[in-house]
Structure 1
């Protein structure tokens, strides 16, 4: 997974990342408070058989971490109560591209550690 960290004087810290991992970058930039990054790394490294999964509900994104992968799901994926058939005449449909993303556990931990270094060095 390739990424680049950016310090923007207007919007703050951001992650430039591939389209495939766009939701990961959005979660990191917008949903995870800077002061919780290292706590999440510690929690992830201390995952036990008692609690093999960490789940964090954000404002717009659900984050799930297991021993194998980190999964990011936009809340828009769960709006099944909306009847989209009303919009059929307009040829509108829910585009799921960019609403689900994931990466391996090791890649995710490396990303978090690099992000923490970047935000505390800047």
Structure 2
């Protein structure tokens, strides 16, 4: 999962991730931000899961984070509705590459640790 962390002109931390993982970038930027206690809580939940712990779910304003035994998933809350079958039969689809992403739990942990390190660096 390629990523780039930058500070914008106002000093706000932003994450950009490779194609297929863009939603993690939006989640890091808009939901987690520079909230170190929350970052530490999620890292603790990730470590717990890697050692056979329980699933973890965190709902935010725009995205929901799901941590399971082997995977981390970020899904926009607006995607959490069911598409009527007749819409799918008519060939309608939704662009959701920036609204949903998944990766292995260990990759997610590495990403989160890199984000934590970035947001605690001095400008």
TM-score tier, shorter chain, comes to: 0.7 to 0.9
Residue equivalent to 1:71: 73
Residue correspondence of structure 1 range 46-85 to structure 2 within 5 A: 46-47=48-49, 52-80=54-82
SS in 1 for 2:54: coil
2:48–2:54 Cα contact (<8 Å) kept: no
Q: How many angstroms apart in 2 are the aligned matches of 1:100 and 1:39? A: 22
Using structure 1 for the length normalisation, give the TM-score.
Answer: 0.80
Compared with structure 1, are the counterparts of its residues 3 and 81 closer, same or farther at alpha carbon in structure 2 (3 Å cutoff)? Answer: closer
SS in 2 for 1:95: coil
SS in 2 for 1:46: helix
2:15–2:26 Cα contact (<8 Å) kept: yes
Using structure 2 for the length normalisation, give the TM-score.
Answer: 0.79
- RMSD value over aligned CA atoms? 2.5
Q: How many angstroms apart in 2 are the aligned matches of 1:93 and 1:81? A: 9
Compared with structure 1, are the counterparts of its residues 2 and 93 closer, same or farther at alpha carbon in structure 2 (3 Å cutoff)? Answer: closer
SS in 1 for 2:21: helix
1:38–1:113 Cα contact (<8 Å) kept: no
Q: Rg: which structure is higher?
A: 1
1:100 is displaced (CA, Å) by 1.5
Residue equivalent to 2:26: 26
Q: After TM superposition, what 4+ stretches of structure 1 lie above 6 angstroms from structure 2?
A: none
1:54–1:65 Cα contact (<8 Å) kept: yes
1:23–1:101 Cα contact (<8 Å) kept: yes
Q: How many angstroms apart in 2 are the aligned matches of 1:81 and 1:10? A: 39
